[in-house]
């Protein structure tokens, strides 16, 4: 019984020592927006370009390389009444 309690206690403490995602931390530490999409994270830059988080961390992608397709002046939705 004592072994079971000890193993159970180790299971609860193991999750409390998880390290943060270094690629996500790199993105937010530089002041960029981080967005998790499905199982992949992206860094969004002020010029509306983006990079996959790990590609950006490795230097394989840089701001301005991939543009988001966002209209500059989206029209407002019309009321239903």
Q: What is the 3-state secondary structure (H, E, C) of the chain?
A: CHHHHHHHHHHHHHHHHCCCCHHHHHHHHCCCEEEEECCEEEEECCCCEEEEHHHHHHCCCCCCCCECCCCCCCCCCCCCC
Are the beta carbons of 29 and 38 closer than 8 angstroms? no
What contacts 65, CB < 8 A, 6 or more positions away?
49, 51
* pLDDT tens readout for residues 21-40: 999 999 999 999 999 988 88
| Residue recorded with tokens 């994270």 | 41
Domain ranges of the chain: 19-62
* pLDDT tens readout for residues 44-68: 999 999 999 999 999 999 999 998 8
pLDDT of residue 72: 56
| Partner residues linked to 41 by β-bridges | 36
């Amino acid at each position: 019984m004592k072994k079971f309690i000890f193993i159970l206690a180790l299971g609860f403490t193991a999750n409390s020592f998880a390290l943060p995602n270094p690629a996500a931390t790199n993105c937010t530490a530089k002041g960029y927006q981080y967005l998790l999409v499905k199982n992949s994270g992206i860094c969004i830059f002020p010029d509306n370009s983006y990079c996959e988080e790990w590609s950006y961390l490795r230097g394989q992608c840089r701001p301005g390389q991939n543009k988001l397709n966002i209209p500059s002046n989206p029209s407002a939705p019309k009321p239903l009444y």
